[in-house]
Amino acid sequence: MARLWQRLLTWLERHWVAPAYAGGVLLGLAIAFFGAAVNSMAGWLYAISGVMMAIALINVWTSPRSLSGLQIHRQPIRPVSVGEPLAAEIVLENSTARSKVLLQLRDQVPTALGEAPTTAIATLAPHQQHTWVYTCRPTRRGIYHWDTVTLRTAAPFGLFWCQRPRQAAIHATVYPEILPLSRCPLIDQMGLAMGSRWQLSQQAQYSSQGLTRAVRPYRWGDPTRLIHWRTSARHGDLRVRELEEQTADNQVIIGLDTRDRWTEDAFESAVTTAASLYIYSLRKQLSAVLWLPHTGLLQNKHTILSALAAVMPGPADTTHRLPTQSLIWLGTNAVTPPALPPGSLWVQWQSQTGSMASVLQPILTIHPQESLVEQLQADLSTPY
């Protein structure tokens, strides 16, 4: 019964007005005084009842008008990783010639980001803006979309609440957690196996000279030393060169199996591992890319981390073939890995379904009960 009553009050508040506790008491007293006046025919009781009803009607009429003429603007949200504070900025503008008082803002964020943040504004002067910045700390990766900010007021007397939604679409990208790896034999050992090709990759990271394979628009995270200024001036925006050395077979390739045989915790651990290996490779000044079955090879830091933020296990996807170069394959022991190129490394996550026979033996087995950081920093179980 209480839940049904609360739903009724919420519906009234969104479509008209709903009485606050004080408003309900005022209406009850007004009705009681009016009933007493009818029985006793006392004029002063009629007067008291009339004054109470007038006060209530003023609040009922004023509350919806207090929310008119208010505009909501959002600023883009910078991507963050799991565990980092995510900052959102909302600007409330009063475009009318009257002050707005006793306002409440509530951003209707997805439940995965926590409870809806709320703030109160005592007074907003005519043609003025109020900037509200709040932070939340996401606990799960993902790309979150929401589009509603709720304005709420009980002005001027606090007797009747009124709320109205405002459309203000926004999205927030939460990257996977980046583990603080001080060493990673998976990456280091792969680099030693590549030998001289690995050295060429390191030289390409520092070099601004070489055979230019293509010129493309600048993307966030591209080195500024690769900007082709003459072409940028001609097109009116930044253009960068893709050097042939950076697209050869001397890259660290991280492959993630997205077939739907994972447990939820194991898949999240694998995504975290992929992101951490990629960032570790960048810290070591190595050229690294990510391969996903539905996207193929991905380059650029923002593109890779955004893809890892959105990826979910699903049916087998054969849209893109595996690269011909050796790679680090992240998979579960619940399904046999595909035919990996020679020299590849297989990282295996334990599954409840047990182990499956495979020609390729895992070089590292991840146990869910142990620290993921320590397992990725430990020496590999078999020689490469």
* Residues 94-136: tens digit of each pLDDT: 999 999 999 999 999 999 898 899 999 999 999 999 999 999 9
* Residues 199-251: tens digit of each pLDDT: 444 444 444 444 555 778 887 767 777 888 888 888 888 888 776 444 444 57
Cα–Cα distance measured from residue 346 to residue 191, given in angstroms and rounded to the nearest whole number: 15
- Tokens for 63, please give them: 């509350």
pLDDT of residue 154: 92
Range of lowest pLDDT (4-13, 114-123, 134-143): 4-13
**Overall size of the chain counted in residues:** 384
* Residues 27-64: tens digit of each pLDDT: 999 999 999 988 888 888 999 999 999 999 999 999 99
Cis peptide before 156 (omega within 30 of 0): yes
pLDDT of residue 187: 87
* Residues 246-262: tens digit of each pLDDT: 444 457 899 999 988 89
pLDDT of residue 191: 56
pLDDT of residue 230: 83
- Tokens for 192, please give them: 């030693």
pLDDT of residue 192: 54
Residue type, 240: V
Q: Which CATH class is domain 1-175?
A: mainly beta
pLDDT of residue 352: 58
Q: State the DSSP string of 25-64.
A: HHHHHHHHHHHHHHHH--HHHHHHHHHHHHHHHHHHHHHH
Among 267, 284, 82, 281, residue whose Cα is nearest residue 292 = 267
- DSSP structural state of residue 146: E
Q: CB 337: neighbour CB atoms within 10 A? A: 22
Cα–Cα distance measured from residue 186 to residue 324, given in angstroms and rounded to the nearest whole number: 19
* Residues 325-376: tens digit of each pLDDT: 889 999 988 777 888 888 888 899 976 554 544 445 668 889 888 999 999 9
Range of lowest pLDDT (175-179, 191-195, 268-272): 191-195
**Is 383's pLDDT higher than 80?**
no
Q: Where are the alpha helices (DSSP H) in the chain?
A: 2-15, 21-40, 43-66, 185-194, 196-206, 229-235, 264-283, 301-310, 372-377
Among 212, 203, 247, residue whose Cα is nearest residue 230 = 212
Among 116, 65, 121, residue whose Cα is nearest residue 91 = 121
pLDDT of residue 250: 58
- DSSP structural state of residue 16: S
Q: How confident is the model at residue 197 (pLDDT cuts 50, 70, 90)?
A: very low
pTM: 0.77
Residue type, 345: L
SS3 helix, strand, coil % of the chain, rounded to 5?
Answer: 35, 30, 35
Compute CA distances 39 → 30, 35, 43, 134, whole Å. Answer: 14, 6, 11, 56
Domain(s) of CATH 2.60.40.10: residues in the chain = 1-175
